[in-house]
Structure 1
């Protein structure tokens, strides 16, 4: 059994995470096995997120004054919390995939960048290209004009050579 001091530490940790996390997702994990919840934690950890299960009474003491206070009515029944601090798109993708693959894990509510979001908004966030894909698209977009200029110059030099050869052949025949 946890002491008051232990509970105070948990409340303080949760409050800090509720304040700093750009993505907080509440889930209902009822019926999940330990192996399934460990798999969820592993998938989210790989995506740079964290999944915690804490008593609702402790969570209720942690959310006042944070963006999560907007979804306070969802802290009912078994509640798990996914926090993402880095790449929220990767975390949203991992969570969406896990929810779709495991019917036992159910979406309750989310706060994305301080605003309440439903499951459709979480899915929309998950459909955004990853950071690496966006960087690749940017690199292509930056590289294209350079390639176009190089191709144009090459084409221009080929035309110049063709014109000079025509002029040379005309002078030789004249």
Structure 2
């Protein structure tokens, strides 16, 4: 049995996570085996997220004053929490992939994204966005494109200038001959 001090520490940690995490998703994990639960934790960890199961009574002490308070009614029955701190898209993709199987026992309850309540459709849309690395690549291409276009234009301009000068030289040589 957990001591009062240990429970207070759990509540304090949860409150910090509720305040800091830009993505918090509540799930119902009833019927999941230990192997399935471990697979979910591993997949989320690979995506930079965390999955925790804590008693609802402790969570009720942790959410007041945090964005998660908006979904307090979802803290009924078996509740697992997904916390994503860095790449929320990768976490949403991992969770969607895990929930999309026909035999998946994991069910969506509620979510808070960047302080706003989100439904499962919004989480699916978030999961469809490009990853952080893909977005950075697109940004790099977008920033690099104008520079490349100017360089190409200047190169093309110099090539045309050389061609014109060669034509003028050939005409003068032809006129002098």
Relative to structure 2, which stretch is displaced further, 70-79 or 93-102? 93-102
Q: Determine the C-alpha separation between the residues in 2 that align with 1:141 and 1:74.
A: 42
1:12 to partner: Cα distance:
1.6
User: Cα RMSD (Å) of the superposition?
Assistant: 1.3
Deviations 1:82-109 (A, max 9, x none): 0111111211111111111352111100
In structure 1, the partner of 2:119 is 118
Instruction: Please give the secondary structure, in 1, of the residue aligned with 2:108.
Output: strand
1:173 to partner: Cα distance:
2.1
Deviations 1:106-158 (A, max 9, x none): 11000111111001111122222222111111111121112111211221122
Instruction: Please give the secondary structure, in 2, of the residue aligned with 1:98.
Output: helix
In structure 1, the partner of 2:128 is 127
For structure 2, the residue ranges without an aligned partner over 5 or more in a row are none
Q: Determine the C-alpha separation between the residues in 2 that align with 1:154 and 1:14.
A: 59
Q: Determine the C-alpha separation between the residues in 1 that align with 2:150 and 2:70.
A: 53
Q: Is 2:167 the partner of 1:166?
A: yes
Deviations 1:32-61 (A, max 9, x none): 110110111111111111101111111112
Instruction: State the aligned residue count.
Output: 174
Structure 1-normalised TM-score? 0.94
In structure 2, the partner of 1:71 is 71
Matches within 5 A, 1:24-173: 24-101=24-101, 103-173=104-174
Q: Determine the C-alpha separation between the residues in 1 that align with 2:144 and 2:122.
A: 33
Relative to structure 2, which stretch is displaced further, 43-52 or 3-12? 3-12
Instruction: Please give the secondary structure, in 2, of the residue aligned with 1:43.
Output: helix
Q: Is 2:16 the partner of 1:16?
A: yes
| Segments of 4+ moved more than 3 angstroms | none
Q: Determine the C-alpha separation between the residues in 1 that align with 2:173 and 2:24.
A: 80
Structure 2-normalised TM-score? 0.93
